[in-house]
Amino acid sequence: MNAPVLSAIVMTPDTWHTMRRTLAALRGQTLRHSIELVLVGPSLEALDVPEAEIAGFAQVRKTAAPPSPRILGESSAAGVRSASAALVVFTEDHCFPEPGWAEALVKFHADGNWAGVEPTFINGNPDSVASKVQFLVEYAHSAPGEAKGEAPFIAGHNSCYRRDALLHYDRDGGLADWLEVEFLMHQDMGRRGLRLGRSAEARTHHYNCSRVGATLSFSWVFPRVFAAHRARRLGPVQRLKLALTWPLIAPLRFQRIWPLAWRLYGTAAALRLSPLLLANLMVSAASEGAGYVLGAGRHPELAFGLEFHRDRFFRSGDRFPDVEA
């Protein structure tokens, strides 16, 4: 048995069937025999995966995440604690890496100078305005053609970290809190002098909501979680300032994101998607403002539910890649 060089954390909220497409993409990796699968689910019974689905990997570990509250950070942290490789990478059930993805991530990490590295993201279902907008808001900085190398932050839910860099945040059992909003962890890593990077060679295809209502729902749920976590690390004056200035967030973000839309889609398409992009950013800003004042509420659990079974939010005609029955 090969000693794993990379632990891939694969999560499900229900049964192993939710993982099938992600497992298929991992089986296609050039580095397959050096990858450890870390399967995380609500129970060990839910992770009773047929051998054919997990054959050929260095090893397979299974862990049951804490059942309550059902938040993404808890499942992610459980996977990190169970992993044995020096590098861990998070996966999603709607993001499918190309065959050289794992090998390229390991290569980028080879000099040991990076705490975390993200892949290059490609929009898996780019035909709708809603999908284009969601991809812009979440991953435009990581698209092909954007600057690679060192970066101030990397993508959440899909990046590859040194395991020891993550376990630093678990000294008091707090890793789940940091992994719930990875951007805040990236900021802290930067303050501590740790480096983050973006790989051009590691490529993955991310599938987005293609229905307008679903895209706006995402923009209402996730920013409140971010703001609540951020607020806990700030003083009362800073929290009040952010709560009062939330109306400025949308125009400032639009100013930053629109040039990315122009580079990624061209002028005509960027103009067509601008109304939904602005609406998305306004909803997001209002949600963030609420988070500074009201806290997260039930939004972490809502976010956990929205993260899986992305095809619920596809318009007619969009579909995931097929996998063999």
pLDDT digits 0-9 by tens, 38-67: 999 999 999 999 999 999 999 999 999 876
State what percent of residues in the chain have pLDDT above 70.
98
| One domain, residues 41 and 157 | yes
Of 261, 251, 260, which Cα lies nearest the Cα of 281?
251
The backbone torsions φ and ψ at residue 97, rounded to the nearest 5 degrees and listed phi first, read: -75, 150
Q: Check: CB of residue 246 under 8 Å from CB of residue 292.
A: yes
Within a domain: 321 = no
| One domain, residues 73 and 117 | yes
| One domain, residues 152 and 219 | no
Q: Check: CB of residue 61 under 8 Å from CB of residue 10.
A: no
Q: What pLDDT sits at residue 140?
A: 86
pLDDT in tens, 294-312: 999 999 999 988 999 999 9
Q: What pLDDT sits at residue 35?
A: 98
d(CA 149, CA 191): 18
| One domain, residues 113 and 245 | no
Mean of pLDDT over the chain: 93
Within a domain: 320 = no
Q: Check: CB of residue 163 under 8 Å from CB of residue 125.
A: no
Check pLDDT > 70 for residue 23. Answer: yes
Cα dist. 38→68, 210, 225, 269 in Å?
A: 20, 30, 26, 40
Q: Which of 206, 241, 264 is the last residue of a domain?
A: 206
| One domain, residues 129 and 278 | no
Within a domain: 166 = yes
CATH number of the domain where residue 157 is located = 3.90.550.10
d(CA 199, CA 183): 18
| One domain, residues 222 and 178 | no
Q: What pLDDT sits at residue 68?
A: 60
Within a domain: 242 = yes
Q: Give the residue-averaged pLDDT of 9-22.
A: 95
d(CA 257, CA 149): 20
What lies within 8 Å, CB to CB, of 212 at 6+ separation is 129, 130, 276
Cα dist. 61→57, 167, 209, 253, 270 in Å?
A: 11, 18, 31, 41, 44
Look up residue 168 and give its DSSP letter: G
Check pLDDT > 90 for residue 147. Answer: no
Q: Check: CB of residue 40 under 8 Å from CB of residue 79.
A: yes
Q: Give the residue-averaged pLDDT of 254-283.
A: 94
| One domain, residues 92 and 156 | yes
CA of residue 146 relative to chain centroid, distance: 18
Which residue is listed with tokens 């993982």?
Answer: 19
Q: What pLDDT sits at residue 65?
A: 85
Instruction: Give the count of domains, the chain.
Output: 2
The length of the chain is 325
Q: What pLDDT sits at residue 90?
A: 98
Angle among Cα 31, 35, 37 to the nearest 5 degrees reads: 145
Q: Which of 173, 206, 239 is the last residue of a domain?
A: 206
Is the pTM for the entire model greater than 0.75? yes
Q: What pLDDT band is residue 316 in, cutting at 50, 70 and 90?
A: confident
What pairs with residue 36 in β-bridges? 7, 59
Check pLDDT > 80 for residue 92. Answer: yes
Q: What pLDDT band is residue 20 in, cutting at 50, 70 and 90?
A: very high
| One domain, residues 189 and 276 | no
Domain containing residue 301: 212-313
Amino acid at site 203: R
**Judging by DSSP bridges, how do beta strands 87-90 and 59-64 pair with one another?**
unpaired
Tell which phi-psi region holds residue 149, choosing left (phi > 0), alpha (psi between -120 and 50) or beta.
left
State what percent of residues in the chain have pLDDT above 90.
85
Q: Check: CB of residue 11 under 8 Å from CB of residue 77.
A: no
Q: Which of 183, 206, 229 is the last residue of a domain?
A: 206
| One domain, residues 181 and 284 | no
Six-digit token string for 200: 């051009």
| One domain, residues 244 and 259 | yes
| One domain, residues 283 and 231 | yes
| One domain, residues 238 and 171 | no
d(CA 199, CA 215): 27
Six-digit token string for 321: 């890649």
